[in-house]
Structure 1
Amino acid sequence: MHFSPEQALRLARETLDIESAAILGLKNRLTPQGFARAVELMLACQGRVVVMGMGKSGHVGRKVAATLASTGTPALFVHPAEASHGDLGMIQPQDVALAISNSGESAELNAILPLIKRMGAPLVAMTGQPHSTLAGCADVLLDSGVAREACPLNLAPTASTTAQLALGDALAVALLDARGFKAEDFARSHPGGALGRKLLTRVADVMRQGSEVPCVPPEASFSELMREISAKGLGAAAIADTQGRAIGIFTDGDLRRLIETGRDLRPLTARDVMHASPRHIAPAALAAEAAKLMERHRISVLLVQGDEGRLQGVVSSHDLMRAKVI
């Protein structure tokens, strides 16, 4: 075995050139009768898009099904060989079948095509051979053919699978646009992901409330105010009136600045030292909005206020980090 860095780089660049050309070559083969009709069938589908493929095309099919499902088009992958042994029951007449095969002659896939046709489910074929058995059975043909594979032997599926992936993504994008699919819809499909957390997590989900909220009345002494801040561990305390409305806030930063003035702090009350009209946010607001507000005003704590300005909780930058919103 002899490794040549120059040869490796040359082949890598050639691979990228070949696969780029394969994807670009698909553009001129997108037609109203083919691509647009496939989108139309999937858009009108009352069931699911059932994606099938063998070997490398099967791996592509799993990714295509996952992308469709996460962007608003119900989809699943069915292995053609397993379909012949019972899984064909997963396909229903109201579904749309998307069969992927570069050669269009996959024995396991072609064996179940007559059953799909008899069932009445529309069949969309994604194949590199427009005159293949698969293409001949299809209601709609998506030509994914490539001039050659990136493999130096022109054998291993490389450019062909890249083209299939790109065409699958093109279907998903066209479908999500036609459905009016929004970022919020994507987030609901990905509640555990970063986008899901940013678009679904509300302030009410992460705020501290009840006894966890550092709060004193305006008449509280300075020592009472400091004990409350220390006890709750947020580096701040809200000042609320008898109606529960937040009228001010006092933070560790305010304390440092107050000490620097040299004033005698002992006779002071919470009202004397508080910042009036503190920054606040509603409990129904997105937690991501709380993060933006903190960043904009360079603060680490926000009061959460409900109707008529009543204090309902408090949220800190640490709470947002724990929730992985920031």
Structure 2
Amino acid sequence: MSPPPSSIAASATARRVISVEADALARLAAELPEAFDAAVAAILAAQGRVIVSGIGKSGHVGHKIAATLASTGTPALFVHPSEASHGDLGMIAQGDVCLLLSNSGETAELRDTLAYVRRFSIPLVAISSRADSTLMGAADHALLLPDAPEACAIGMAPTTSTTMAMALGDALAVALMEARGFRAEDFRMFHPGGKLGAQLARVDQLMHGAAAVPAVAPDAPMSETLLAMTSGGFGIAAVLDTDRRVSGVITDGDLRRSMDGLMSRTAGEVATPDPVTVAPDMLAAEALALMNARKITVLLVADAARHPLGVLHIHDLLRAGVA
């Protein structure tokens, strides 16, 4: 075993590897495979799923591509080529599209899958670095990677080639996502857990309903208004006009600014007019950003006519894991 490299040498290696792979990605963008658009169209037209397969490092990349496709609106499944040869070919059906990955295009383990999809005329998309390979010759849509050197010192370990394959898989997924009109709401449906799911929640999923909104009329005395604020527990009171539309809001800050003669005033005289309201379909993350920008902790939720629909407190966002 050679002695471990110094930190300076290791850093130099890291920069070289990243530069080599970055250059390869730039080439991939500039030399995007001609069949890319046709491959996207074929997947969009498919009634079934995208069946992804590959072995070794290509298999690991294939797992990631299948997961990215599935989470962005394109049903996908990874099938291990060795298992495919022992029964899992039954997972591939008419209406599917097959995406096979092999840097050399001659991977022996893919032969049974390749023969199967050709026998049953299942559309085949291939990703490889060799245009004259068996896989690329058999493909309906051949996505050729640029001839770029691997980033390892001996030029053999899959590094640059797997980075390009993964980037091309991401490009397919995003192109399909945009073609399908996939929205943040759809994304949340597939990602309900964790921080990401919380940030993609909508205001109406976290807010307290209309019955919880502390509301008073503009001519309500402040004694009544204080009771409404206290009973509501949000530190605010919404001022509603005769059409039950939000015309103002009273916060703790409004009370402090109006301490002189407070109890002789009405709610309409103390309230901040035309307060900020949010729509129920706003993303919770956007509501949090608005709270931070305005330095407030509560938002009234209203419809387009400013009728109150609910109230959202920053504590609701904290409990949901948005903040």
TM-score tier, shorter chain, comes to 0.7 to 0.9
- Tell me which residue corresponds to 1:222: 222
Q: Distance in 2 between matches of 1:176 and 1:254?
A: 47
AA aligned to 2:72 is: T
1:12 aligns with 2:14: yes
Shift of 1:94: 1.3
Aligned to 1:104, the other structure's residue is in SS state coil
Decide whether the 8 Å contact of 1:26 with 1:143 is kept in 2. Answer: no
- Tell me which residue corresponds to 2:250: 250
User: CA 1:105–1:291 in structure 2 vs 1: closer, same or farther (change >3 Å)?
Assistant: same
User: CA 1:237–1:176 in structure 2 vs 1: closer, same or farther (change >3 Å)?
Assistant: closer
Q: Distance in 2 between matches of 1:280 and 1:52?
A: 50
- Tell me which residue corresponds to 2:130: 129
Shift of 1:22: 2.7
Q: Distance in 2 between matches of 1:314 and 1:80?
A: 54
For residues 238-317 of structure 1, what are the structure 2 equivalents within 5 Å?
A: 238-240=238-240, 244-259=244-259, 261=260, 263=261, 265-284=262-281, 287=284, 290-291=287-288, 294=291, 298-306=295-303, 310-317=307-314
Q: Distance in 2 between matches of 1:241 and 1:267?
A: 20
Decide whether the 8 Å contact of 2:68 with 2:173 is kept in 1. Answer: yes
Decide whether the 8 Å contact of 1:122 with 1:139 is kept in 2. Answer: yes
Encode CA deviations 1:70-104: one digit per residue, 9 max, x unaligned. 33332221111121222211111211111101122
For residues 9-158 of structure 1, what are the structure 2 equivalents within 5 Å?
A: 9-27=11-29, 29-32=31-34, 34-144=35-145, 146-158=147-159
Q: Distance in 1 between matches of 2:39 and 2:255?
A: 66
Encode CA deviations 1:300-326: one digit per residue, 9 max, x unaligned. 333334586544432233334444555
Structure 2: give runs of 5+ residues left out of the alignment.
none
Shift of 1:21: 3.0
Shift of 1:139: 2.7
AA aligned to 2:229 is: I
User: CA 1:237–1:51 in structure 2 vs 1: closer, same or farther (change >3 Å)?
Assistant: same
**Superposition RMSD in Å:** 3.2
Structure 1: give runs of 5+ residues left out of the alignment.
none
AA aligned to 1:6 is: I
- Tell me which residue corresponds to 1:236: 236
Aligned to 1:142, the other structure's residue is in SS state strand
Q: Distance in 2 between matches of 1:227 and 1:166?
A: 59
Q: Distance in 1 between matches of 2:143 and 2:303?
A: 55
Decide whether the 8 Å contact of 1:102 with 1:145 is kept in 2. Answer: no
AA aligned to 1:4 is: S
Decide whether the 8 Å contact of 1:127 with 1:145 is kept in 2. Answer: no
Q: Distance in 1 between matches of 2:12 and 2:308?
A: 65
Shift of 1:247: 4.8
For residues 155-174 of structure 1, what are the structure 2 equivalents within 5 Å?
A: 155-174=156-175
User: CA 1:106–1:318 in structure 2 vs 1: closer, same or farther (change >3 Å)?
Assistant: same
AA aligned to 2:162 is: T
- Percent identity over the alignment is 51
AA aligned to 1:212 is: A
1:318 aligns with 2:319: no
Q: Which protein shows a greater Rg?
A: 1
User: CA 1:128–1:255 in structure 2 vs 1: closer, same or farther (change >3 Å)?
Assistant: same
Encode CA deviations 1:187-229: one digit per residue, 9 max, x unaligned. 554455767656651x332222355332345565534433332
Moved more, 111-120 or 278-287: 278-287
User: CA 1:134–1:307 in structure 2 vs 1: closer, same or farther (change >3 Å)?
Assistant: closer
AA aligned to 2:257 is: R
Decide whether the 8 Å contact of 2:65 with 2:166 is kept in 1. Answer: yes
User: CA 1:85–1:307 in structure 2 vs 1: closer, same or farther (change >3 Å)?
Assistant: same
Aligned to 2:311, the other structure's residue is in SS state strand
**Of 1, 4, 13, which aligns to 1:2?**
4
Q: Distance in 2 between matches of 1:307 and 1:13?
A: 53
Moved more, 273-282 or 248-257: 273-282
Aligned to 1:36, the other structure's residue is in SS state helix
Shift of 1:4: 1.1
Shift of 1:8: 0.8
AA aligned to 2:204 is: A
Report how many residues are paired: 321
